[in-house]
C-alpha cells in the first residue's frame, strides 16, 4: 500500500486534532487531559523548529553567498541579480503588510478569546512588554548598532538576535569569496556538508509534523473553542493567498515590461515547474525542472540560468517573506497588539533578510517566521495559531518562490543581452533523460 504524502498526513493530523478536541470537551476532565498530555507534544514540535533556526541561517546563507565564487561576478550580473531579488522581496513583504492591515484577519477574534490567548501565553506577553519598554529608551541608531554583534556565540544563543547572525553569515561568505580558492575549498566543503545535515534534520522534524499539528490543534480547540478563531484562520488564509496571487501578477507585469514577453508565454513556459513546486513544497527539489523550463522554453541562456536560479533557490523566497509578514501581523492582531509603523517597517527588513536564509525545503518558512516574530516582539507561541493551515499555504508560497526565480532570470538575461528565442522541447523527454 502506497504511503500517504506528507501534506496529506498533516491535513489528516489537523482534522484529527480538531475532532479529538471536540470529543474531549464533552467531558469535564477532557480539556485538562489535552492540556497536560497532548499539548506538550505540540510545544516540543515548535521548540524543535526553533532549535535549528541559527544553524539553518549559518549553513544556508554562508553556502549561498560563497557560491557566488568571486566578487567580480557581483559587479554586473551578480549585482543585478541580488538587487532585483531584494527589490521583489521588499515588494512581496509590503504587499503582505498592506493586505493584512486592510483585511485585519486577527481582529475578528473576540475580546473574550483574545483574553484567553493572552492568559495562556502570559509569560510571552510580559516579555513583549519588557522589550517594548527597552526599545522606547533606545536611540534612533540603536537598530543599526545592534546589527553588528560583538560576540557571534552570544548572538547565536538567542533567536531574538538573528539579524546579527545573518550579518555574520553574509560577512563570512564574502570573506570566503575573497580568499584563495584552495584555502576556501575546505571551509566551503564543511558548510556544504553542514547544510546537508541541517536539511536532513528539517526532513526528520517534518516527519513528526502530523503529530505536532494534531497536538497543537487539539490544544487550540480546548483552550479557545470559540468559532471566531477558526473564522479568523479562514480570513488569514485568504489574506495570504490574495497576496501570493498579487505577487504572481507583479512578476508577470515585470516580465512584460522589461522583456516584452507576453504573460501567456511566461506562464505557459514555467507552469510545469509551478506544479512541481506546489506538490513538493521545495524550491530545491524543483530547481532542475525550473532550469530546464527557463532555458528551453523561456529563452534564457544557460550562462545566466545556471547563475541566477541556484542563487534564487537559496535567497529569493518572496512567497515565504510575504507569508511571514501576513502571519506576524495576524498573530499580533490576535493578541490585541497594535504594531506601529516602525515595527512594521522592521518586519519588512527582518522578513527580507530572513528570507535570504530560508532553506529551499518544506517547513523552513515556519522556522524563519520565528525570527520575524522574535525581532518584532510578537509572542512566538502564536505559531500555534497558524500552523494548522501552514502546509497548504506552504505549497502555494513555494509556487511564488519558483515563479519569482524564473521572472528574475528573464530580467537579468535581458539586461545582459542573454535572452533569446526558446528552444522548445518536450518536458517529459527531458525529465526522463535526467532520471
Q: Cα separation of 56 and 23, whole Å?
A: 39
Q: What gap in Å lies between CA 180 and CA 184, rounded to an integer?
A: 6
With cell 516582539, the residue in question is 377
**What radius of gyration, in Å, describes the C-alpha atoms of the chain?**
22
Mean pLDDT by 10 residues, the chain (435 residues): 65 85 90 90 80 75 69 68 86 91 80 61 48 54 74 79 76 86 89 82 78 82 64 83 94 93 90 78 73 85 76 79 87 79 78 62 62 72 68 83 92 84 54 37
d(CA 311, CA 65): 8
Give dist(CA 247, CA 166) in Å, integer.
25
What is the C-alpha separation between 401 and 273, in angstroms, rounded? 11
pLDDT at 406: 93
Q: Could you state, in order of their start, the residue ranges of all structural domains in the chain? A: 6-434
Q: Measured between alpha carbons, how far is 420 from 397 in angstroms, rounded to an integer?
A: 29
pTM check: above 0.85: no
Could you tell me which of 157, 197, 177 has the C-alpha nearest to residue 69?
177
Query: What is the 8-class DSSP label of residue 179?
Result: S
CB neighbours (10 Å) of residue 167? 19
Question: Is the CATH number of domain 6-434 1.10.3860?
Answer: yes
Give, for 308, the enclosing helix (H) or strand (E): helix 302-315
At 430 the pLDDT is 42
- The single residue listed with the C-alpha cell 504573460 is 263
Residue from 426, 388, 394, 93 nearest 233 by CA: 388
CA angle 410, 414, 418 (to 5 degrees): 95
DSSP 8-class letter at 219: H
Q: Would you state the cell numbers that stand for residue 195, as one nine-digit string?
A: 547544510
Closest C-alpha among 84, 252, 62, 32 to residue 169: 62
The pLDDT assigned to 227 comes to: 59
Amino acid at each position: 500500500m502506497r504511503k500517504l504524502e506528507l501534506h496529506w498526513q498533516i491535513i489528516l493530523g489537523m482534522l484529527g486534532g480538531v475532532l479529538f478536541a471536540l470529543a474531549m470537551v464533552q467531558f469535564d476532565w477532557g480539556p485538562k487531559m489535552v492540556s497536560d498530555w497532548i499539548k506538550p507534544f505540540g510545544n516540543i514540535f515548535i521548540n524543535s523548529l526553533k532549535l535549528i533556526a541559527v544553524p539553518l541561517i549559518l549553513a544556508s546563507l554562508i553556502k549561498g553567498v560563497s557560491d557566488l565564487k568571486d566578487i567580480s561576478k557581483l559587479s554586473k550580473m551578480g549585482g543585478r541579480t541580488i538587487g532585483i531579488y531584494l527589490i521583489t522581496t521588499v515588494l512581496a513583504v509590503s504587499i503582505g503588510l498592506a493586505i493584512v492591515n486592510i483585511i485585519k484577519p486577527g481582529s475578528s477574534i473576540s475580546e473574550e478569546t483574545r483574553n484567553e490567548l493572552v492568559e495562556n501565553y502570559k509569560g510571552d506577553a510580559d516579555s513583549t512588554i519588557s522589550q517594548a519598554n527597552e526599545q522606547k529608551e533606545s536611540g534612533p541608531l540603536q537598530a543599526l548598532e545592534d546589527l553588528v554583534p560583538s560576540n557571534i556565540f552570544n548572538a547565536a544563543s538567542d533567536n531574538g538576535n538573528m539579524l546579527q547572525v545573518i550579518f555574520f553569515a553574509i560577512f563570512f561568505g564574502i570573506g570566503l569569496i575573497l580568499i584563495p580558492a584552495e584555502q576556501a575549498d575546505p571551509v566551503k566543503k564543511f558548510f556544504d556538508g553542514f547544510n546537508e545535515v541541517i536539511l536532513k534534520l528539517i526532513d526528520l522534524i517534518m516527519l513528526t509534523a502530523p503529530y505536532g499539528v494534531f497536538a497543537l490543534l487539539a490544544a487550540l480547540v480546548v483552550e479557545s473553542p470559540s468559532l471566531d478563531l477558526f473564522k479568523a484562520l479562514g480570513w488569514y488564509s485568504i489574506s495570504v493567498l490574495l497576496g501570493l496571487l498579487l505577487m504572481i501578477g507583479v512578476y508577470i507585469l515585470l516580465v512584460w515590461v522589461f522583456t516584452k514577453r507576453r504573460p501567456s508565454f511566461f506562464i505557459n513556459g514555467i507552469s510545469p515547474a509551478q506544479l512541481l513546486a506546489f506538490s513538493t513544497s521545495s524550491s530545491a527539489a524543483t530547481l532542475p525542472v525550473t532550469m530546464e523550463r527557463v532555458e528551453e522554453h523561456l529563452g534564457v541562456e544557460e550562462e545566466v540560468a545556471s547563475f541566477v536560479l541556484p542563487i534564487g533557490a537559496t535567497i529569493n523566497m518572496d512567497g515565504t517573506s510575504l507569508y511571514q509578514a501576513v502571519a506576524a501581523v495576524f498573530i499580533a492582531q490576535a493578541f490585541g497588539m497594535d504594531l506601529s509603523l516602525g515595527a512594521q517597517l522592521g518586519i519588512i527588513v527582518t522578513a527580507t533578510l530572513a528570507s535570504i536564509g530560508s532553506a529551499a525545503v518544506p517547513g523552513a518558512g515556519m522556522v524563519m517566521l520565528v525570527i520575524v516574530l522574535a525581532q518584532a516582539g510578537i509572542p512566538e507561541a502564536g505559531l500555534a495559531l497558524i500552523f494548522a493551515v501552514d502546509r497548504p499555504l506552504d505549497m502555494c508560497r513555494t509556487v511564488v518562490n519558483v515563479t519569482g526565480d524564473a521572472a528574475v532570470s528573464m530580467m537579468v538575461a535581458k539586461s545582459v543581452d542573454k535572452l533569446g528565442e526558446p528552444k522548445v522541447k518536450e518536458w517529459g523527454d527531458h525529465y526522463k533523460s535526467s532520471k
